[in-house]
């Protein structure tokens, strides 16, 4: 993947410039192509030849008429619909089944893999001149790969006003479908009440030396620290944190299992939806958010050459509207407030102040961030 110049320049930029580069703000530019090739099966209704034509034709249409149009078109497409997803099998099946219950004529097929493999498959198919997917959902960290391949169509959700502006692209090339708020977590059998770290700075205390965990690929988290503290202070903090010898462990799920087992007292950055599930089942853990909380995103993407434009838009409208409750039921945290969750405290991460790392800027500067993180925490892996 082609990278741009080293925007951080070895961290020689003023903090205010660094902040402006990486925070999600309205109006950040995109370079995706505006041209649109005809979709294979897209002439289902009204002479529509591409998904972007369909999106444009639905502007200003009432929600009821929009749904009616998409339903009629999707039926003429035979109900076919292909989703490439990085959700685990159980979570993906939960919302797929809810979608089919709502629209029984739909016949979705799923390709499920990690975000990197899904992105690689999309890019490979694009280079081969194929369009076998309609919609994809992967970690938003991989947005840049989609955009560089030129495979994305613009999409605006009819419920856009209900989604926080930090959770979607103002130009329409991606939108969050699920969120991943991060929190400091601790084992309540090992940490006395009132003594748990409540700020990241607390982890610099010598009493936590070698007693807290951090992911070996926590590049987003490190960038978030630099965003919040500024270049000089952020770099100094991460250097001191590394000197306090965190246990570097790959995978947040793996960390959580080890935390529950008592292999260390504290984990610096854990996923909300996993914490609430374990806590509800009686695991000896508790957690707190450091405000503004870092929120990761699962992004939703529309193929500009989708073979089934009506089915694709019908699914995207549903998953960001009524389908958000299915996301919540699956155990994930949605992108809208007011959802009914299965577990106490789920959704709490979005209730207070939070921040999102711009997925494109993270990807563009991946080499710089990775190099700094690996060198600071004495890791040998580079990208």
What pTM does this model have?
Answer: 0.81
Give the long-range contacts of residues 228-235, CB within 8 A, separation 24 or more: 228/292, 228/355, 229/15, 230/15, 230/16, 230/18, 230/19, 231/11, 231/13, 231/14, 231/15, 231/18, 232/15, 233/15, 234/15, 235/11, 235/372
Task: Kindly list the structural domains of the chain, giving each domain's residue range(s) and its CATH number in brackets, ordered by start.
Answer: 30-178+296-346 (3.40.190.10), 180-292+362-376 (3.40.190.10)
Could you read off the pLDDT of 14-61 as tens digits, one per residue?
Answer: 443 333 433 333 333 443 333 333 333 434 455 677 999 999 999 999
Could you read off the pLDDT of 136-168 as tens digits, one per residue?
Answer: 999 998 888 898 899 999 999 999 999 999 999
Give the long-range contacts of residues 160-167, CB within 8 A, separation 24 or more: 162/336, 163/320, 163/335, 163/336, 164/335, 164/350, 165/26, 166/24, 166/295, 166/354, 166/355, 166/356, 167/295, 167/297, 167/335, 167/356
Rounded Cα distance between 254 and 223, Å, is: 22
Nearest to 169 by CA among 331, 301, 319, 272: 301
Residue 101 pLDDT exceeds 90: yes
CA atoms within 13 A on the CB side of 93: 3
Nearest to 222 by CA among 346, 9, 365, 26: 365
Question: In whole numbers, what is the pLDDT of the chain averaged over residues?
Answer: 87
Give pLDDT, residue 381. Answer: 53
Q: Pairing state of beta strands 80-85 and 354-355?
A: unpaired
**If DSSP codes are grouped into helix, strand and coil, which group holds residue 288?**
strand
Report H helices in the chain. 15-22, 51-57, 63-76, 89-102, 115-127, 143-149, 219-229, 231-243, 252-260, 272-280, 309-320, 324-329, 359-364, 366-376
Residue 380 pLDDT exceeds 80: no
Could you read off the pLDDT of 63-76 as tens digits, one per residue?
Answer: 999 999 999 999 99
**If DSSP codes are grouped into helix, strand and coil, which group holds residue 133?**
coil
Cis peptide before 231, with omega less than 30 degrees from 0? no
- Residue bearing the bigger pLDDT, 18 or 118: 118
Give pLDDT, residue 189. Answer: 98
Radius of gyration for the alpha carbons in the chain, expressed in angstroms and rounded: 22
Give helix 366-376 / helix 219-229 axis angle, nearest 10°: 90
Mean pLDDT of 327-353: 92
Structure tokens at 184: 């400091």
Residue 333 pLDDT exceeds 90: yes
Instruction: Specify whether the CB–CB gap between 226 and 23 falls below 8 A.
Output: no
């Amino acid at each position: 993947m082609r990278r741009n110049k080293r925007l951080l320049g070895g961290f020689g930029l003023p903090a205010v410039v660094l902040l402006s580069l990486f925070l999600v703000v309205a109006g950040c530019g995109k370079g995706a192509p505006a041209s649109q090739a005809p979709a294979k099966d897209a002439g289902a209704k009204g002479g529509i030849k591409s998904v972007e034509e369909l999106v444009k034709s639905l502007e200003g249409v009432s929600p009821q008429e929009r749904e009616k149009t998409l339903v009629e078109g999707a039926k003429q497409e035979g109900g076919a619909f292909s989703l490439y997803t990085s959700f685990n099998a159980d979570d993906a099946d939960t919302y797929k089944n809810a979608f089919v219950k709502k629209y029984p004529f739909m016949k979705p097929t799923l390709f499920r893999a990690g975000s990197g493999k899904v992105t690689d498959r999309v890019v490979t198919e694009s280079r081969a001149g194929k369009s076998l997917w309609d919609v994809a959902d992967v970690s938003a960290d991989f947005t840049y790969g989609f955009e560089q391949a030129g495979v994305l169509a613009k999409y605006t959700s009819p419920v856009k006003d209900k989604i926080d502006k930090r959770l979607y692209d103002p130009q329409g090339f991606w939108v969050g479908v699920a969120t991943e708020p991060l929190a400091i977590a601790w084992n309540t059998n090992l940490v006395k009440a009132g003594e748990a770290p409540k700020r990241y700075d607390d982890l610099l205390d010598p009493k936590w030396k070698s007693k807290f965990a951090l992911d070996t690929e926590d590049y987003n988290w490190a960038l978030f620290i630099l965003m919040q503290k500024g270049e000089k202070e952020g770099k100094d903090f991460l250097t001191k944190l590394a000197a306090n010898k965190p246990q570097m462990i790959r995978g947040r799920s793996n960390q959580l299992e080890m935390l529950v087992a008592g292999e260390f007292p504290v984990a610096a950055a854990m996923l909300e939806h996993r914490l609430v599930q374990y806590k509800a089942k009686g695991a000896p853990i508790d957690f707190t958010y450091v405000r503004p909380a870092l929120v990761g995103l699962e992004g939703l993407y529309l193929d500009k050459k989708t073979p089934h434009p009506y089915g694709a838009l019908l699914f995207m409208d549903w998953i960001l509207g009524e389908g958000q409750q299915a996301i919540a039921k699956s155990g994930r945290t949605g992108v809208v407030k007011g959802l009914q969750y299965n577990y106490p405290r789920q959704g709490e991460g979005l209730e207070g102040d939070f921040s999102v790392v711009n997925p494109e800027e993270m990807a563009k500067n991946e080499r710089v961030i990775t190099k700094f993180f690996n060198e600071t925490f004495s890791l040998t892996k580079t990208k």
